[in-house]
Structure 1
Amino acid sequence: MNLSDLLAGPYAAIRLTQRLQSSAGDGSKVFPPTFEGGVYCLEQRRIGGISVPCVILDSVPSSANRQEEVLGALVEAGKIEIPHFRTEFSEFPELGEVTTLNAPHRVFDAIFRDSELDGKPFPKHPLYAELCRSNTQNATALFAHGPSALVFGTWDSTGSAGGLGNKFARNMVTEIIGVHVERGETRGGVRQDPLGISRHVEIEIDKSGDWRPKGVATKKDDRAKGTRPSEVNHGNILVSVAYEGAGAERRSLKGGVTCDYALQLSVITLAGLRRLRFPLAGRRDPAVDEAARAVLVALGLVALTSTRERGYALRSRCDLVADGTSSFEIVGQDGTVTTEALDSKGAIALYHEAVTRAKKAGLPWDPAPKVMKPHANLSKLISLSRQAGAE
């Protein structure tokens, strides 16, 4: 795959339509994500000219987060380099660190805004101002310090301009859907207690959360609210089920689905990447622009191939694997399609070549992570949140 030819030629996009199957096999349930109200995102889609019942198994933002997680693992393993920021939470070992490869809003996340770099609050650091000035006509600073944001999209919504901050659209989009879906059912049940703790025993719980047995409640009216052993997870506990609809249309929520297969639908937009400009010293060179875009395309290909080879453990009871290995489709501006096979090893090689070429073109590239620490206000906010949770 020649990235220079793709970016300079009459091509609009690179796409991957990867068929997936449940790792548990045919007929097994998979459990989609739930949205407001505890419901699945069920919808009709046109596939092969036919309206087909489908369900979202992994949304666009969620898929992006999974791909960034894979890229972060490759960086940790020393297989690739990606310029990024990292805030280390040494006061809170359970948090570890947050990087621009796992923060929700990438380089413009509030975590970095409320951290310190080189002993300065980040909003007062020259680099912050440089990033905030980035836009589609001058994305050089973002390329040098956080190129993944140009692939997965970002929005400077918390900077000095507030909601008017610059936006960078996603140049790679992925979602996973279940195809030919049948909704499942669940009826709940009872969690059986191996100790045989009776519901007629009464307990009392103090303000600190500690509890002690109080006695046996001989009559229902003798029991105060919140004094059953089930309050501290002892005894048989009924697992309830929520429903929607009524009558013949009444269906249980969160009953999972079965489907014929799943589809991962991914697109890297070459047309979108061509909107990005990367001037050096205030001057634009089309060759430099092309070199930067090639790095971004290669980074997207690394994310797609490496995620496929890692597998798709989306959530409990939604573990998917590739059903064969689909080739990438290169879509021409006239809609014609050519195919090319690519694995993670080949994608990583393309990425290294593109980075080397970008450096030779004079593009700034700083792979050493910018190590930050949380501002005192952010640390205090975390501490108070821990206190509130404990209380």
Structure 2
Amino acid sequence: MKIAAISVKSELKSITNSAHVYPATFADTGHNLVGLNKADGSFKAVEIDSVGSFANRMESELKNAISDILPDITTTISGRTLSVMELPHRIYDAILRDSTLDATPWRKSEVGNKILTSNPQNATALYTYAPLTLLLGGWDSHGGDAGNGVKITRSVACEIWGYDGVISKHCTQRIDPLDITSNAQKHLMVDGVLTLAPDQKAKEGKKPSELGHGDVPSKADKGVFVDRIELSGAISLTRLNRYQFPDDNGDTSPERNAAAVNVLTEIAKLGISLVLDNLDLRSGCELYSENRQFDIIYANGNRESIDVCSSTEHLKTAISLAEEHGLKFNDKPLQLMAGKALADLVARGGDL
């Protein structure tokens, strides 16, 4: 029976054994809450870590753990070298677009063109130079024709949610050792120096508490109490099996394609396992996995439990088998340099 996916589920706990955690915070939204009751602050679910954030964590963990195995593409800008595994849009990022390979614009170079024109019918170049894009997805939206740019749909999606909780208040109080009162005269900051506001500028002056002096109370919605935290996700074999990996002559075989998919699957399993080993998500949200369940899901709905760990043994075996079919990772990082316009832009705009 054909395998549709490998699912993963893990119950997570805070290392402090507290039900109080700090979920992800989004601009203009705050915490992403589902089923919020504004009257009492209770909710059904809160997003602890998004699919995109978890994908970034996988890239970071894999880069740190198996940089000697995975291929890499780097670009150097103002003395700083960035890996494709650090760029927001991976192989399709504008930073790479505006870099050069051996003085040739990246998109016009032979290798760059092969990679950027890869698609599900011919994904060999992506496998060779940037396999994580095949797992985590990407869109060539910066290529000049976003509507027709290549889109690689993610095959791995994991997220972390907290359930059945209530919003907590973050209350702080600065106790002033100088006993400066709230009705003290107003002041201004002039060139970074505290200055008494003259009478004619009294309206522009600020209370001591607004300038960091005096007793300063603070209260805001921050953090949540939750009954449970769960990670759930899957590696889609249905999606990975759509990719074809022809050789230079355009020839391929079911065995060659299966060997490539097996390598990608092992990378995904390893990446998820590594993140589960290092769930220091943010201040106030350092977690550990109380249990882990990986299941093969067959097309007919049957399930089979499998063991997944952070060992590279299975991955190395899969890579060796793929090499027997002529599929090999690029063994040296492709080293790009920022183009003149990008380098000038960074120089004028400060650090990246």
**C-alpha displacement of 1:90:** 4.0
Residue by residue, what CA displacement relative to the aligned partner does 1:207-250 show, whole Å, maximum 9, x if unpaired? xxx32243377x8x852425555565444444353xxxxxxxxx
* In the alignment, structure 1 residue 259 sits paired with structure 2 residue 226: yes
Q: Following superposition of structure 1 onto structure 2, how do residues 354-369 of structure 1 map, counting pairs within 5 Å? A: 354-369=318-333
Which residue matches 2:60?
69
Contact 1:183-1:257 at 8 Å conserved across structures: yes
**C-alpha displacement of 1:382:** 2.0
Query: 2 CA distance for matches of 1:230 and 1:342?
Result: 54
**C-alpha displacement of 1:290:** 0.8
With over 3 angstroms needed to count, the CA separation of the structure-2 counterparts of 1:228 and 1:278, relative to structure 1, is same
Query: 2 CA distance for matches of 1:275 and 1:236?
Result: 63
Which residue matches 2:14?
22
Contact 1:202-1:213 at 8 Å conserved across structures: no
Partner-residue secondary structure (3-state), 1:380:
helix
* In the alignment, structure 1 residue 306 sits paired with structure 2 residue 274: yes
TM-score normalised according to structure 2 size: 0.89
Amino acid at match of 2:305: T
With over 3 angstroms needed to count, the CA separation of the structure-2 counterparts of 1:213 and 1:164, relative to structure 1, is same
Q: Following superposition of structure 1 onto structure 2, how do residues 238-257 of structure 1 map, counting pairs within 5 Å? A: 238-239=217-218, 241=220, 254-257=221-224
Q: Which 5+ residue runs of structure 2 have no aligned equivalent?
A: 36-42
Q: Following superposition of structure 1 onto structure 2, how do residues 110-125 of structure 1 map, counting pairs within 5 Å? A: 110-125=94-109
Query: 1 CA distance for matches of 2:205 and 2:171?
Result: 22
Residue of structure 1 aligned with 2:287, choices 295, 320, 330 = 320
Amino acid at match of 2:204: K
* In the alignment, structure 1 residue 271 sits paired with structure 2 residue 238: yes
Contact 1:64-1:152 at 8 Å conserved across structures: yes
Residue by residue, what CA displacement relative to the aligned partner does 1:292-334 show, whole Å, maximum 9, x if unpaired? 1111001001101111122x1222211211113x231011111
Which residue matches 2:40?
none
Which residue matches 1:353?
317
Contact 1:29-1:184 at 8 Å conserved across structures: no
Which residue matches 1:85?
73
Which residue matches 1:186?
169
Residue of structure 2 aligned with 1:60, choices 46, 51, 74 = 51
TM-score normalised according to structure 1 size: 0.80
With over 3 angstroms needed to count, the CA separation of the structure-2 counterparts of 1:97 and 1:202, relative to structure 1, is farther
Which residue matches 2:24?
33
Amino acid at match of 2:70: I
Contact 2:188-2:197 at 8 Å conserved across structures: no
Residue by residue, what CA displacement relative to the aligned partner does 1:101-147 show, whole Å, maximum 9, x if unpaired? 12111111111111122222212212221122111000011111100
Contact 1:84-1:145 at 8 Å conserved across structures: yes
Contact 1:23-1:320 at 8 Å conserved across structures: yes
Residue by residue, what CA displacement relative to the aligned partner does 1:262-311 show, whole Å, maximum 9, x if unpaired? 1111200111111100111211221111111111001001101111122x
Contact 1:156-1:163 at 8 Å conserved across structures: no
Q: Which 5+ residue runs of structure 1 have no aligned equivalent?
A: 1-8, 45-51, 242-253
**C-alpha displacement of 1:344:** 0.6
Contact 2:188-2:204 at 8 Å conserved across structures: no
Higher percent of residues as strand: 2
| Count of residue pairs brought into register by the alignment | 343
Query: 2 CA distance for matches of 1:379 and 1:121?
Result: 13
Contact 2:246-2:252 at 8 Å conserved across structures: yes
With over 3 angstroms needed to count, the CA separation of the structure-2 counterparts of 1:226 and 1:141, relative to structure 1, is farther
Q: Following superposition of structure 1 onto structure 2, how do residues 88-237 of structure 1 map, counting pairs within 5 Å? A: 88-91=76-79, 96-179=80-163, 181-186=164-169, 188-196=171-179, 200=184, 203-206=187-190, 210-215=191-196, 223-225=202-204, 233-237=212-216
Partner-residue secondary structure (3-state), 2:86:
coil
Query: 2 CA distance for matches of 1:323 and 1:147?
Result: 30
